[in-house]
Amino acid sequence: MTIERKTHISAQVGEYAIPPLKDMLVLGLQAPIGCIAMRRAIELLVKAPYEHIEIEDDIISDILVRQHLLRRVSRDNLIDFVLSHVKPLMGPDEVMHAEIDIKVFLAAGN
């Protein structure tokens, strides 16, 4: 008796994004990696500059955000957004990654 054995391998291959960071990181007070270490890693891996925003909060310690996004939204509005919408989703030991979609509507008046 002969047994036929077949093997099939399938894969989807794509470029790995280094770092796996698009727009913003929100670091908890007790996150396993500190803001300074994360900033150094980002600076080594990414050409786009990131802005460091320190937060005085019971959960969040820092925000790292792409500088070009701060041309579209003020630091205060971004901080308010993070505290209102991201903070409730995280604990002090977490690092949250966020992709941000900012739309600016312009209207010219006469």
- The pLDDT tens digits for 26-75 are 999 999 888 888 888 888 877 888 999 999 999 999 999 999 999 999 99
**Average model confidence (pLDDT) across the chain:** 87
Percent of the chain with pLDDT over 90: 46
Q: Mean pLDDT, to the nearest integer, of 92-97? A: 92
d(CA 90, CA 84): 12
Q: Inform me whether the pLDDT recorded for 13 exceeds 70.
A: no
Do residues 104 and 41 make contact, with C-beta atoms less than 8 angstroms apart? no
Question: Of residues 90 and 10, which shows the higher confidence score?
Answer: 90
The length of the chain is 110
d(CA 45, CA 50): 12
Q: What is the pTM of this model?
A: 0.76
